[in-house]
Amino acid sequence: MTDPTTLTAARLVAGYARGEFTPVEVVRAVLERTEEIQPLVNAFVRIDAEEATRQAAESAERWRRGEPAGLLDGVPVSVKDILLLRGGPTLRGSRTVRTDGPWDEDAPAVARLREHGAVFTGKTTTPEFGWKGVTDSPRHGATGNPYDPSLTAGGSSGGSAAAVALGAGPLSLGTDGGGSVRIPASFCGIFALKPTYGRVPLYPASAYGTLAHVGPMTRDARDAALLMDVITGPDARDWSQLGPVPGSFRDGLDEGVAGLRVAYSPDLGGRVTVDPEVAAAVRRAVEALEKLGARVEEADPGLPDAVESFHTLWFSGAARVTQHLDDERRALLDPGLREVCDQGASYSALDYLAAVDVRMAMGRLAGVFHTRYDLLVTPTLPITAFELGGEVPPGSPYARWTGWTPFTHPFNMTQQPAASVPCGVDGRGLPVGVQLVGARHADALVLRAAHALYGAGVADVPPPRPLADGASGGPGPEPGPEPGPDAAPGPDPGPGLRPCGR
């Protein structure tokens, strides 16, 4: 049998339908791969082998009867440990979160996947409360890059990106409040989409408000379209969700980009210094779009440098999510998170509303820009992966992760759909990502353009090299004193729920 850990979700579903293999065989192989990669890159906080095997057996029986439950019946899926997955704790990378339950509720996207028969293999790593663009936390340590575990996988959905890149399931659910699915997708050589805000329902609501999106992390754009067909289903718990999607995100996926008006902004109007190897790879992707018939011109959307306004919104959210902690429990937080929480707590309501004003002005500029252009293309990031353990690259002039992610967080401010597509590697063999941005609600168009790049071979980056035994993202920083009674780890999460890391 073809190694099932190398197959896309679409290919797995087709194989189940033809009887080439069963969900039990596939899930067993994926769990084995998960166990192999976990010591190397630390992508998971929990592996649910017993429950996944049970779900796979039920799926196999449905396929045997010719009655699959839905579009992803039997497909292995992992879930970032920010989103609720019933049956085990959602720890959010924090030593301040208790593990005792009841943990009996699914997040909306998880619930839709369960309805469609997906098999949940485990929860993936996140920095504490998803606060930064790399993945390390006091509770679970650091997540290494699939191409070199001494480098970061990016974040905050770094565990999901590493898992998909290394064959621990073709699909993962991530969250993105400032680039958190696109950053690790770029660093790890996979596909990710930040959908239009509200397109994928979210519950509980994020402390970061309407900056935070739920998005698919996959091997290619076709799998992302398939996953979007599932996770965009309505959920009454999210008051800000958008209305139903007409048709399928897979409709028109093969129509190509001929005639599309594409704006190429290599450096946001000269504001961003981009590594020359990254710039060259992104330019080749743009040239491929032109060869496919897109009408490309170099143009900049004219968005202001609004990082301070983003900080006001983001750091205020961080302060809010930790507001309930007493001094003893606050001491358990990531030191960088404590700093931004203190900064966030210092803002006034007028500061916050001024940042909202900036955001609305950015949204207007982006809306007008997209009356002239169907897509905007930029690098996803100006750099490739850097050393594990830091919030910023060594020698960086920036104090915070937002300094090296200037292409991602602006489009959380504007709520637009934005995808990262692999488009090559640098001289060290590390992946580069190109970002495709559409007007609000143009998620299907972004997926279509991304799929065209896959069809043109642009996204065919070399897979991660076999990782040497013993290479590891490492345990991360020492966690300090054990938490007090209110933050105690609590009882074992239960049968079949194996904690990973700290």
| Number of CB atoms found within 10 A of residue 163's CB | 37
Residue with tokens 């976990």: 38
- Angle in degrees, CA 143, 147, 148, rounded to 5: 65
Which residue type is seen at 490? Answer: G
Strand order across the beta sheet in which 119-124 lies: 295-298, 261-264, 375-379, 431-438, 418-425, 191-194, 213-218, 171-176, 76-80, 119-124, 44-47, 498-499
Strand, helix or coil at 281? helix
What are the backbone dihedrals phi and psi of residue 401, each rounded to the nearest 5 degrees, phi first? -65, -25
Strands 141-142 and 136-137: antiparallel
Q: How far apart (Å, rounded) are the C-alpha atoms in residues 37 and 501?
A: 13
Q: Give helix then strand counts, H and E, for the chain.
A: 14, 16
Residues annotated catalytic, as ranges: 80, 156, 180
- Cα–Cα distances in angstroms (integers) from residue 491 to residues 110, 487, 498, 499, in the given order: 24, 12, 12, 12
- The answer to whether 262 and 296 are in contact (CB under 8 A) is yes
Q: How far apart (Å, rounded) are the C-alpha atoms in residues 176 and 409?
A: 9
Strands 76-80 and 171-176: parallel
Q: Which of 65, 112, 67 is nearest to 85 (CA)?
A: 112
- Cα–Cα distances in angstroms (integers) from residue 424 to residues 112, 272, 278, 430, in the given order: 34, 20, 8, 8
CB burial readout 216-231, b (16+ within 10 A) else e: bbbbbbbbbbbbbbbb
Note the helical H segments in 140-194. 158-165, 182-188
CB burial readout 333-362, b (16+ within 10 A) else e: bbebbbebbebbeebeeebbeebbebbebb
Q: Which of 130, 187, 177 is nearest to 154 (CA)?
A: 187
Q: Which of 381, 398, 449, 442 is nearest to 153 (CA)?
A: 381
